[in-house]
């Protein structure tokens, strides 16, 4: 457990140093109101908070396999994940954020054993919620695609 704590502490220090370096970053131009530094600082903040939690309560080391073996079903699942992400990236502009995110969310949920009803409800609500967060609150423009006729 000592090695885990040392590893976590090193990553925590690295995250804090990167956050300190990025705090004063100012881009010469910005096309978004929140600016280019908000996302990296948010990610570093979440990473550091998670690392503090892991430092206080680390996972004990186990002698058994912690990871799944790389058998044929696992490799197929990885390939399907890759293809889903590729399809999401290719259809993002055409379908729009809400539709493409809903379809991708449902596909991923089903791939990992989610039920149809729960996958659909969660994907729709999450897609709409993220669209409102980014497009309306953070003022980051997202494509509407198929829903461009609606005033969302």
Give the mean pLDDT per block of 10 residues along the chain (152 residues). Answer: 82 89 71 67 88 81 62 88 94 91 95 93 94 84 78 62
Neighbouring CB atoms inside 10 A of 16's CB total 14
CA distances in angstroms from 57 to 54, 68, 121, 124, listed in the order given: 5, 24, 34, 35
Give the separation between CA 146 and CA 85, rounded to whole angstroms: 19
3-state secondary structure the chain: CHHHHHHHHHHHHHHHHHHHHHHCCCCCCCCCCCCCCHHHHHHHHHHHHHHHHHHHCCCCCCCCCCCCCCCHHHHHHHHHHHHHHHHHHHHHHHHCHHHHHHHHHHHHHHHCCCCHHHHHHHHHHHHHHHHHHHHHHCCCCCCCHHHCCCCC
With a threshold of 0.75, does the pTM exceed it? no
* pLDDT for position 75: 87
| Per-residue model confidence (pLDDT) at position 108 | 95
């Amino acid at each position: 457990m000592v090695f885990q704590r040392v590893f976590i502490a090193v990553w925590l220090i690295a995250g804090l140093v990167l956050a300190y370096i990025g705090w004063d970053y100012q881009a010469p131009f910005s096309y978004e109101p929140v600016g280019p530094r908000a996302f990296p600082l948010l990610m570093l903040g979440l990473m550091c908070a998670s690392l503090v939690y892991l430092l206080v309560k680390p996972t004990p080391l186990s002698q058994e396999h912690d990871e799944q073996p790389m058998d044929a079903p696992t490799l197929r699942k990885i390939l399907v994940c890759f293809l889903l992400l590729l399809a999401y990236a290719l259809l993002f502009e055409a379908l729009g954020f809400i539709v493409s995110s809903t379809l991708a969310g449902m596909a991923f949920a089903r791939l990992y054993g989610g039920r149809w009803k729960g996958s659909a409800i969660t994907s729709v609500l999450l897609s709409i919620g993220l669209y409102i967060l980014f497009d309306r609150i953070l003022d980051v423009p997202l494509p509407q695609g198929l829903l461009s006729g609606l005033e969302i």
